[in-house]
Amino acid sequence: MPLYEFRCPQCGCRFELLCSISQRDNAVCPKCAGKVERVYQGKCAFGAIKGASGCGGNCSGCPGCGSRT
């Protein structure tokens, strides 16, 4: 399972969660149980998951970077 980072707009806390994609979409804040938004980390999530070290996070050539907006 991938590790996702979230931020809560209500109380401002940040936390990481190891969860599936369906759980990720329903993630809530552990403090206030509010709806949270996902934080994109500096490095390429796809590269991190696949264990690749060549991607610096802005290559836009891999699925991890290419899906970032």
In the complex, the residues that contact Zn ion under the rule CB under 5 A are 8, 10-11, 29, 31-32, 34
Question: Residue 15 — φ and ψ, nearest 5°?
Answer: -155, 160
By beta-carbon proximity to Zn ion, the closer residue of 36 and 55 is 36
**Residue pair 2/49 in contact by the 8 Å Cβ criterion:** yes
Residue whose CB is less far from Zn ion, 19 or 59: 19
Question: Nearest approach, Cβ of 39 to Zn ion (angstroms)?
Answer: 13
The nearer residue to Zn ion, 28 or 49, going by C-beta atoms, is 28
CB 37 within 8 A of CB 7: yes
* Segment holding 6, helix H or strand E: strand 3-7
